Structure 1
Amino acid sequence: MSAQLQNAKAISSSIEIPGRKMEFDFDVDDIPKYWYGNDAFRSTFMNALSCLFPEGERMFMDAVRDNQHKINDPQLQKQIKGFIKQEAIHGHEHAQYNDCMKKWGYPIDSIMRFEKKEKIWMKKWLPASRRLAITCALEHFTAIMAHQILTNPESTEGMHPQFKEMWRWHAIEETEHKAVAFDVYQEAIGSYWLRIFTMLTITVLFCLRTSVVQAIFLWKDGQLFNPKVWWNGFKFYFFKPGLVPTIWRDYLDYFRRDFHPWMHDNRELLAKWEAEEQKYKTV
């Protein structure tokens, strides 16, 4: 085991994962439809991500629970409880966020029904090991995107304050628990090739799913074929805030045999946020 991997594992075992009672109040009357810099592409991209979270978080919790009996480490067992608590709260808050979007005429209920049926199908037909590998892949995506939100000021520039606060909180908690599913996978399953094959598959499906939901929103707004919207999207991905180039190297690290999420050590972001946000109660 390399010294870098040993250090990452030591960091991982030291992380506390608290649940926090959140009370975001999404007042749609005070929030413009294009709440992210008055930009249709950016706003609908983040809205599409939010639509994937409630059922996605439930799938994550189930996948970890279904492998929990294979875990002997008491510290990891404690972290699993914190992970489940955080993911449950994430699902609740994003469900409220999604309800807010209904008032803009988006077909949220139809999207949620599809997401729910898909997750039921996955639980019925995919083994627990595969669902845990999927969870690890998606948790890596959320972790590296969270790091971008927390470290690149351009990534939240122009966001409405209510949504900016929520996305920063979500990014912090994704950072806190970014290694839990991975650590469970390594102890319970451990297959490098399953982890890599799943990441390749999920990369395609995650990007496709997000794009389809976003396209539905843009179509409902009459913006789907607006060249300016897609030019703004290109700039969002590659120039400002430059989502793809800022996460690309971290994404590729997942394919290392000796990868661990805490090789990306950003604990200072957790400490900074905790110092700034004392209003949230742990539960």
Structure 2
Amino acid sequence: MTLTSDGNDSGDRVISKETSFSHQANRVITVRAVQFNLPVSVDRHWVRGSPFKTHLFNSLHLTLPAVEYWMVRHVQSRLKHITASPLRQNVRGFILQEAQHAEQHAQFGEILRQQGYELKACLKMEDWILTSLQRLDWRLNLAAIAGMEHLTVLLSEVVLASDLLAAAEPTLKAMLEWHALEEIEHKAVAYEVLQTVSQNYLLRVAGLAIGCAFVLGLLNRCTLTLLYQDRCLWRWSVWREMGQFWLTKEKMLLRSVPHCLWYLQPNFHPAAHD
């Protein structure tokens, strides 16, 4: 992938000094040279034999590349307007990390195709959403990216702190854990880039709403689509595991509420919580 700036408007603010919101200035974002060599064949239910957990993470593998490239384009377009050295360095790290995420996850689509899944429905929906977003103001796109990154950090914490991926296929498990680690590592970057553009509170709120709707809507839609194609959608065990993930065990949905309320606090900054 070639990383290029797609430019933007002429009236942008140029940040030439450290600002009060740059809490992550002393953090180093490490760009790791990685290459996951996926196995030739993968069990159909590669997460503990669980259709729900498998298709939840299948959906992530499938949809992440386009989302990551969208993030890279919009964040990189701001790089030339940021002159504060620590933030500029972190933005470069963010761009390279996200580009690697996209490249590594893009390998997985072929595995799903070999297993007989029809992927057009999920990918077409994702393409429609991203195309629609890019028709909106570029500031709102940045706000949506910051909001999406906030929710992604919560999912990353759940992945790393729970047994969701216990006994999963080792290479795919390692890829997801590596991705989760780096999401937590660069969790403040998109937000800080947004702050260099606008500190408007309503813009931040709108971005969070779009980010949550995008992540939760697309992830659930693709998971249900793959479960249906796998003829597992109406199994009681699948719905029980789905309820555990969202409500009773990992509590992803219940944890999302305070996580988003924290984002709405006027003095919010991602680095305030380690």
Quick check: TM above 0.5? Answer: yes
Task: Provide the C-alpha distance between the structure 1 equivalents of 2:232 and 2:97, rounded to a whole number of angstroms.
Answer: 35
Aligned to 1:270: none
Partner residue of 1:219?
228
Report the equivalent of 1:99. Answer: 110
**Structure 2-normalised TM-score?**
0.85
CA contact (8 A) 1:54 1:91 kept: yes
After superposition, residues 181-200 of structure 1 pair within 5 angstroms as 181-200=190-209
- Per the TM alignment, residue 197 of structure 1 is displaced from its structure 2 partner at its CA by 2.1
Which residue in 2 is equivalent to 1:75?
Answer: 86
C-alpha distance after superposition, 1:150-206 (max 9, x if no partner): 2x2323223221121111100111111111110010111111111112212332332
Report if aligned partners of 1:83, 1:180 keep a CA contact under 8 Å in 2: yes
Q: For the structure 1 residues 247 and 116, does the alpha-carbon distance in structure 2 shift closer, same or farther, using more than 3 Å as the test? A: closer
- Residues 209-246 of structure 1 show CA distances to partners (whole Å, capped at 9, x for unaligned) of 11111111011111122222111211222233333345
Alignment partners' CA distance in 1, 2:260 and 2:159: 15
| Residue among 165, 172, 181 paired with 1:163 | 172
* Aligned counterparts of 1:79 and 1:202: Cα–Cα separation in 2: 22
SS in 1 for 2:49: coil
In structure 1, the partner of 2:26 is 14
Give, in whole Å, the separation in 1 of the partners of 2:133 and 2:120: 20
Q: How does 1:147-158 map to 2 (within 5 A)?
A: 147-150=157-160, 152-158=161-167
Judge conservation of contact 2:122–2:221 (CA < 8 Å) in 1.
no
RMSD: 2.1
Counterpart selection for 2:76 from 57, 65, 85 = 65
Q: Partners in 2 of 1:200 and 1:109 — Cα distance?
A: 26
Corresponding residue for residue 175 of structure 1: 184
User: Which amino acid in structure 2 is aligned with residue 91 of structure 1?
Assistant: A
Asked whether the 8 Å contact 2:78–2:193 carries over to 1, the reply is yes
**Paired amino acid for 1:131:** N
Task: Measure, in 1, the Cα distance between the counterparts of 2:230 and 2:79.
Answer: 44
Alignment-derived partner of residue 119 in structure 1:
130
Paired AA for residue 21 in structure 1: A
CA contact (8 A) 1:67 1:184 kept: yes
Gaps of 5+ in 2: 1-18
- Which one of the candidate residues 151, 154, 166 is aligned to 1:141? 151
**Residue 54 of structure 1: aligned partner:** 65
Match of 1:231 in 2: 240
With 15-24 and 34-43 compared, the bigger mean Cα shift is at: 15-24
- Among residues 261, 266, 274, which one is paired with 1:252 in the alignment? 261
Structure 1 position 128 matched with structure 2 position 138: yes
Q: Where is the helix percentage greater, Structure 1 or Structure 2? A: 1
Deviates more, 1:161-170 or 1:202-211: 202-211
Query: What TM-score does the superposition give when structure 1 sets the normalisation length?
Result: 0.83
Distance 2:210 2:256 in 1: 18
Q: Indicate the structure whose relative CO is greater, using CA pairs within 8 Å and at least 6 residues apart.
A: 1
Which is worse superposed, 222-231 or 211-220? 222-231
Q: Distance in 1 between matches of 2:60 and 2:104?
A: 13
**SS of the residue 2:106 aligns to:** helix
Identity of aligned residues (%): 26
For 1:115 and 1:48, locate their aligned partners in 2 and report how far apart those are by CA, in whole Å. Answer: 11
In the alignment, the residues of structure 2 paired with residue 259 and residue 91 of structure 1 have an alpha-carbon distance, to the nearest angstrom, of 28
Structure-1 separation of matches of 2:144 and 2:194: 10
- The count of aligned residue pairs is 256
Paired residue for 1:279? Answer: none
